[in-house]
Structure 1
Amino acid sequence: MSSVTRAAPEAPNRNLIAGRVGRAEFIVVIAALMALNAFAIDIVLPAYPELAQAFSVTDETDVAMILVTYILGFSVGQLAFGPIADRYGRRAPLFVGMVLYALAAIGVLMTADFTAVLLLRALQGVGAAATRVIALAVVRDTMKGREMASLMSLVMMVFMVVPIFAPMAGEGLLIVSGWPGIFWAMALSAIALLAWCAVRLPETLKPEYRRDLSARTIVNGFGAILRIRLVAGYCAATAFFFSALFAFLTVAQPLYVGVYGLDRTFTIAFGAVAALMAVTSMVNSRLVHKLGARRLSHGALIAFTALSGVLTLLSFGGNPPFWLFMTLMALLFPLLGLIGANLNAIAMEPLGEVAGSASAILGFLQSAVAGLIGAFIGSLFDDQVVVLAAGFTIVSGLSVLSIWWAEEGKLFRAPNAGEA
């Protein structure tokens, strides 16, 4: 058997956390690391008109490239930081990524060239990739099974709060300090979190589990991960499922503003959806101990597919009234809190020795594949809700099929020894 597929250490490395970082602080640190990425995306959204004017961009829609280049850098950067984190440990690569994130944000303030801004945003995405990859790897280093799924649910609860407040914070900073204040906020947030991690977050990768950083080792590691049926299936399922979230983020503003006429108040409706996801993430952290990650995620995913199908049928022939649309959103999006964290935990469970590379592949699929599919759904959006609803139905259905393949046709199966 390949060393990649050997079982993880018999007991999680809780002693590396216990006595130095309490559970609540650990959850907040991991959530903050992952939230840096969402923060860099959502806080910039209200500033598009000001950025277009500041950098002499004639077509305001071209400012969206600030988001596209960031996501590209974030996607590719994860593939690099995964093997690096498995070779050199978690702390040093994390600090390098956070410094790059902060310096790129400051660099935007020092240029008047829009092309340079796009390059700097790509570099900022690369830096953010380290935070996402290493946050998941640290969780896998220290947790297993249901405990890992429970903790990831709490992390996702904190993570989901960011889309609620980041656009509002962006608008507030625009009023107080203009668009430069937004980039200063990103830089200072990264610097503050870097100082916190440097003092409080210990190294969680034991020396005996570090891997060589050679091209052959990296290729073999990635290949072995994808050859594990369970992991490959759940990687695909996660990528397909998060396509729905990316599609929603892509069309959220034109949907709420252009279709339903909410104007500036769209941030409230947008935040309400994220708040519902945060609540169910908290609930999931408790339920997963009783029901298991598989039963919760499989049931919620099937329910998401069915409700998406209902929304698709109701949207044929014209957009549903806002109250009906929001009612179905209020039923759909809480299910994300029962799905995302659990799918990630199941995929990471067999991969203790290569947690960095594993989280890199998961992250790449979620951001690159899901981003591309989500962007494609968004490109088809023509002010008709049926496009988004049909996209939800298709990608969530593909996610169910991927899990069915990974589990060899046995959904809702009893948790195995590893999960228990």
Structure 2
Amino acid sequence: MGASPDADPPPPLRRNRPLLLLVVEQLTGSVGRQVTALALPLLAIAHLGAGPLGVSALVATTYLPGVLLSPLIGVLVDRARLRRLLVAGAWLQVPVVGSVPLAAALDGPTWPHLFAAAALSGALGSVQGVALQSGLPRVVPAAHLLPANSSLTGARTVGLIGGPALGGVLIGLVDPAPALLVECAAYLVGGALFLALPASLDRPPREAGAGARSRIEALREGLAVIRRETPLRRQALAAAGLNLGGGAASGLFVLYAERELGLAPWQLGTVYAAYAVGTGAGVLAATPVARALGTTRAVRVCAVGAGAALFLIPAASLGAAFAVLVLYQLLFAPLATVWSIAMTTGRQLATPAHLLGRVNAFLQAVLTATLPVGAFAGGWLASRVGVVPVLVGAAAVALAGTGSLWLPRSVLAGVERAAA
């Protein structure tokens, strides 16, 4: 466990070896995953003639295991030896992902093979994500959790920027299948970095399993924490609203920018570059903003700000579309980034260590499931009522969800009873 905030000041993060290992892993892993995110759909198109439905289904398959298996993943993370789990998960990804370019070099991949590889890789990735969030408080002092989460987010952001560019170059030089070997190499490196983490991670928290003799009892114990802790329920509701609205908006964004607004390719590229700039600004601002406002208030202010910023997307149809969309990205990206970092840190500090895996898995399932649901619902509605009305509705859903963070506890309880 991390040191108490009242103890002697911990050493600076730059001397925290476990965190540095995790930052390097997140950087290399993010680059590898972004290359695969580009290469796998292109491989399905090139080798199997995939259309929009096939590509969409393949991408969705990578998210589905994390949603369906989240309760079991949470129990596994809370009871497992975390270092061994992280190492095994990373190195198991190598044959799973590597089987695709191997098949392409032999008789060619098949649809069942691609779907199986996507599902297995998605499940292993979900386990790793929950394990990392749950293990961080055990290698970083509580006083440094906020900047530590910012550092990990920053490393992933670099991968989000550089990964697609590297993937585009590799796929332009070779077939999409060999490009998948970049992710295999990233997982080999990641497993070695995880292996260098402290052996203390292989000792579960003292309370693990003390109040739960079976998996069912363990699940009930984790859900009891979420029912008991109002901030966790608020987080789930706000995340669901923001991701439903944001998923609908992101699913329509390129179509809207190209067909409705007539943006040139260079303008669309600049808009996406603004998102990367905004995310980087959010990483840098997260710690000072959360310390100035307090973690809880930072979550509330930034979540509502991110939800409100979505209204700028349909507002671009009124004029100055390019400038308005750049402004949207420069507002939404840092607000959403600070919100995510502060929310994760607050959850790590508030949740008992032996239950953190189950709580993280539940909230990860909410975040993972609502994005594709929002994208699908937004596309279906746009085909019937038009793109701009759906974008306005998506922003309203996001703002309503994040606004729930400000509801008085009595009102929130009434909303939950009505929903039940």
**TM-score interval, normalised by the smaller of the two chains:** 0.7 to 0.9
Once residues 240 and 31 of structure 2 are traced to their aligned partners in structure 1, the CA distance between those partners, rounded to angstroms, is 17
Per the TM alignment, residue 196 of structure 1 is displaced from its structure 2 partner at its CA by: 1.1
Q: Judging changes above 3 Å, is the alpha-carbon distance between structure 1 residues 10 and 23 closer, same or farther for their aligned structure 2 residues?
A: closer
Q: Determine what percentage of the aligned residue pairs are the same residue.
A: 13
Contact map agreement 1:82 1:356 (CA 8 A) in 2: yes
Q: Which amino acid aligns with 1:348?
A: Q
Query: Paired residue for 1:373?
Result: 374
Q: Which amino acid aligns with 1:227?
A: R
Per the TM alignment, residue 45 of structure 1 is displaced from its structure 2 partner at its CA by: 3.0
Alignment partner of 1:356: what SS? Answer: helix
Once residues 289 and 404 of structure 1 are traced to their aligned partners in structure 2, the CA distance between those partners, rounded to angstroms, is 19
Query: Paired residue for 1:5?
Result: none
Once residues 96 and 75 of structure 1 are traced to their aligned partners in structure 2, the CA distance between those partners, rounded to angstroms, is 21
Once residues 169 and 385 of structure 1 are traced to their aligned partners in structure 2, the CA distance between those partners, rounded to angstroms, is 34
Q: Judging changes above 3 Å, is the alpha-carbon distance between structure 1 residues 348 and 246 closer, same or farther for their aligned structure 2 residues?
A: farther
Q: Write out aligned runs for 1:321-336 (5 A).
A: 321-336=321-336
Q: Does 1:48 align with 2:38?
A: no
Give the ranges of 4+ consecutive aligned residues of structure 1 lying more than 6 Å apart after TM superposition.
17-21
Alignment partner of 1:344: what SS? Answer: helix
**Structure 1 residues 318-364: Cα deviation after superposition (integer angstroms, max 9, x where no partner):** 67622222222222222112211112222333212211111111111
Residue 286 (structure 2) aligned to one of 284, 287, 303: 284
Contact map agreement 1:101 1:126 (CA 8 A) in 2: no
Alignment partner of 1:75: what SS? Answer: helix
Query: Paired residue for 2:191?
Result: 194
**Structure 1 residues 118-177: Cα deviation after superposition (integer angstroms, max 9, x where no partner):** 121011000101210011001233457663233222322222232222221211110222
Once residues 391 and 38 of structure 1 are traced to their aligned partners in structure 2, the CA distance between those partners, rounded to angstroms, is 30
Contact map agreement 1:314 1:320 (CA 8 A) in 2: yes
Worse-matched range after superposition: 235-244 or 175-184: 235-244
Once residues 407 and 75 of structure 1 are traced to their aligned partners in structure 2, the CA distance between those partners, rounded to angstroms, is 28
Q: Which amino acid aligns with 1:73?
A: P
Q: Does 1:348 align with 2:348?
A: yes
Query: Paired residue for 1:415?
Result: none
Q: Write out aligned runs for 1:129-148 (5 A).
A: 129-143=126-140, 147-148=144-145
Q: Give the TM-score, by structure 1 length.
A: 0.81
Contact map agreement 1:150 1:286 (CA 8 A) in 2: no
Q: Which amino acid aligns with 2:395?
A: F
Per the TM alignment, residue 184 of structure 1 is displaced from its structure 2 partner at its CA by: 0.8
Per the TM alignment, residue 10 of structure 1 is displaced from its structure 2 partner at its CA by: 7.6
Q: Does 1:29 align with 2:32?
A: no
Residue 123 (structure 1) aligned to one of 103, 120, 125: 120
Q: Which amino acid aligns with 2:363?
A: L
Q: Does 1:109 align with 2:101?
A: yes
Query: Paired residue for 2:150?
Result: 153
Q: Which amino acid aligns with 1:240?
A: G
Worse-matched range after superposition: 210-219 or 350-359: 210-219
Q: Does 1:181 align with 2:173?
A: no
Contact map agreement 1:145 1:346 (CA 8 A) in 2: no
Q: Write out aligned runs for 1:76-91 (5 A).
A: 76-91=68-83
Q: Judging changes above 3 Å, is the alpha-carbon distance between structure 1 residues 266 and 173 closer, same or farther for their aligned structure 2 residues?
A: farther
**Structure 1 residues 58-109: Cα deviation after superposition (integer angstroms, max 9, x where no partner):** x244222221100112333443322112112311222232233222211222
Gaps of 5+ in 2: 104-108, 413-420
Query: Paired residue for 1:218?
Result: 218
Alignment partner of 2:95: what SS? Answer: helix
Q: Judging changes above 3 Å, is the alpha-carbon distance between structure 1 residues 36 and 146 closer, same or farther for their aligned structure 2 residues?
A: same
Query: Paired residue for 1:98?
Result: 90
Residue 207 (structure 2) aligned to one of 204, 209, 222: 209
Per the TM alignment, residue 379 of structure 1 is displaced from its structure 2 partner at its CA by: 4.2
Q: Which amino acid aligns with 1:274?
A: A
Q: Write out aligned runs for 1:271-420 (5 A).
A: 271-309=273-311, 311-313=313-315, 315=317, 321-352=321-352, 353-381=354-382, 384-401=387-404, 403-405=405-407
> Which structure has greater helix proportion?
2
Contact map agreement 2:226 2:359 (CA 8 A) in 1: no
Aligned residues: 397
Q: Which amino acid aligns with 2:296?
A: R
Q: Judging changes above 3 Å, is the alpha-carbon distance between structure 1 residues 120 and 49 closer, same or farther for their aligned structure 2 residues?
A: closer
Contact map agreement 1:46 1:167 (CA 8 A) in 2: no
RMSD: 3.5
Q: Judging changes above 3 Å, is the alpha-carbon distance between structure 1 residues 405 and 225 closer, same or farther for their aligned structure 2 residues?
A: farther
Q: Which amino acid aligns with 2:184?
A: A
Contact map agreement 1:47 1:174 (CA 8 A) in 2: no
Once residues 97 and 267 of structure 2 are traced to their aligned partners in structure 1, the CA distance between those partners, rounded to angstroms, is 28
Q: Judging changes above 3 Å, is the alpha-carbon distance between structure 1 residues 97 and 81 closer, same or farther for their aligned structure 2 residues?
A: farther
Q: Judging changes above 3 Å, is the alpha-carbon distance between structure 1 residues 311 and 216 closer, same or farther for their aligned structure 2 residues?
A: closer
Q: Judging changes above 3 Å, is the alpha-carbon distance between structure 1 residues 87 and 238 closer, same or farther for their aligned structure 2 residues?
A: same
Per the TM alignment, residue 199 of structure 1 is displaced from its structure 2 partner at its CA by: 1.8
Q: Which amino acid aligns with 1:285?
A: T
Contact map agreement 2:245 2:397 (CA 8 A) in 1: no
Q: Judging changes above 3 Å, is the alpha-carbon distance between structure 1 residues 47 and 81 closer, same or farther for their aligned structure 2 residues?
A: closer
Q: Judging changes above 3 Å, is the alpha-carbon distance between structure 1 residues 375 and 114 closer, same or farther for their aligned structure 2 residues?
A: same
Gaps of 5+ in 1: 1-7, 411-420
Alignment partner of 2:350: what SS? Answer: coil
Once residues 289 and 273 of structure 1 are traced to their aligned partners in structure 2, the CA distance between those partners, rounded to angstroms, is 24
Q: Give the TM-score, by structure 2 length.
A: 0.81
